[in-house]
Structure 1
Amino acid sequence: MFKKALLIAALMTPALFANAHEFDLGSLHIEHPWSREMPPVAPTAAAYFVVDNNGKEADRLIAIHTPVAEKAEMHEHVHAGGVMKMQQVQAVDIPVGGQVKFEPMGYHVMLFGLEQQMKAGEHFPMTLTFEKAGDVEVQVNVQKDAPAAGETHTH
């Protein structure tokens, strides 16, 4: 009986992680990591999330890694000469009591060298490395479309 209960719990665990949308690392709170489903031939994908700093000291997001891509880079969209362009950033400051949104047309994570594009309903691990708080692994949910305004919780 115990083995059967353990097996059922093990089978349900991935479903629980697939629906997890919030992750904590010390005073940092990461909300709703997500990525949009891309066509199978797309060479890249992007990931988004929100970071709240509820602590008493600033921190910086300095690296991102995921086993589903050869390379993950932080990027931002900027207006330059009347044109919107994307550029890589080496770090993103997370101010005390502040919130930084990784969202379309803002900061985002570019995933290069994907083994394959993920489909809506799937998820993948991504590790965020903060200068002071360290590493946290989040689960990125792949969705058909961007979340509705109410889906991303803010504090």
Structure 2
Amino acid sequence: MFARRLILAAAVSLLTVPAMAQDYKLGSLEITAPWTRATAPTARSGGGFMTITNKGTTADRLVSARSTVSDKVEIHEMQMDGSVMRMRELAKGLDIPPGATVMLKPGSYHIMFMELKAPLAKDAKVPVTLVFEKAGSIDVQLDVQAMGAMPHGHGKN
């Protein structure tokens, strides 16, 4: 009887776990937990987040991205300029050093979707092509989380 309840409890708990983003591999690069936030109906921009790990011995660089959800996609960083947080495009892209993990997260590096064609809706998928200097291109799907979402590990730290 106890074992049956334990199995039932485990099965129910699996139903309440949110869907996990798919992970991707391109050469020595691993792209994990790609996600974005739902946007308001009038929003003109949104951000894309993920973790990129370079398991190789050679540096690479995320040089561009593109998506059908917006007219323009840029690679951005946010940093403090005195007491003001500023966002700017990384014109040369984002370095992914060998053996390093780079997090694209709110308040830091991120993919910037500009001139959105429609709002990003919770539970949808956003197609993005990431272009790396050496590894080439890969198509990924970003899971759209709720507005204001902050998945575990993607804080401003």
Question: Which AA in structure 2 matches 1:88?
Answer: E
Instruction: Supply the AA of the counterpart residue of 1:148.
Output: H
How does 1:22-37 map onto structure 2 within 5 Å? 22-37=23-38
Match status 1:54 vs 2:55:
yes
CA–CA separation in structure 1 for the residues paired with 2:110 and 2:143: 15
Partner of 1:136: 138
State whether structure 2 residue 124 is matched by structure 1 residue 122: yes
Deviation at 1:20, TM superposition (A): 4.3
Summarize the alignment of residues 62-141 of structure 1 with structure 2, pairs less than 5 Å apart: 62-90=63-91, 91-141=93-143
The 2-side partners of 1:76 and 1:118 are apart by: 21
Q: Hey, what's the Cα distance between the residues in 2 that align with 1:105 and 1:20?
A: 21
Identity rate, percent: 38
Gaps of 5+ in 1: 1-17
TM superposition shift of 1:87? 1.0
Query: What's the C-alpha RMSD, in Å, of the aligned pairs?
Result: 1.7
Q: Distance in 2 between matches of 1:99 and 1:51?
A: 6
Partner amino acid, structure 1, of 2:50:
F
TM-score for the superposition, normalised by structure 1: 0.82
Find the aligned partners of 1:84 and 1:112 in 2 and give their Cα distance.
Answer: 19
Larger radius of gyration: 2
Unaligned runs of 5+ in 2: 1-18
Cα deviations by residue, 1:67-126 (Å, 9 ceiling, x for unpaired): 111000111111112211111112110000001110001001110111101211100210
Q: Say which SS state the counterpart of residue 128 (structure 2) adopts.
A: strand
Q: Are 1:147 and 2:151 counterparts? A: yes
Q: 1:62, 1:85 → 2: CA distance?
A: 21
The one-letter code of the counterpart of 2:36 is: S
What is aligned with 2:44? Answer: 43
Q: How many residues align?
A: 134
Matching residue's letter, 2:99: G
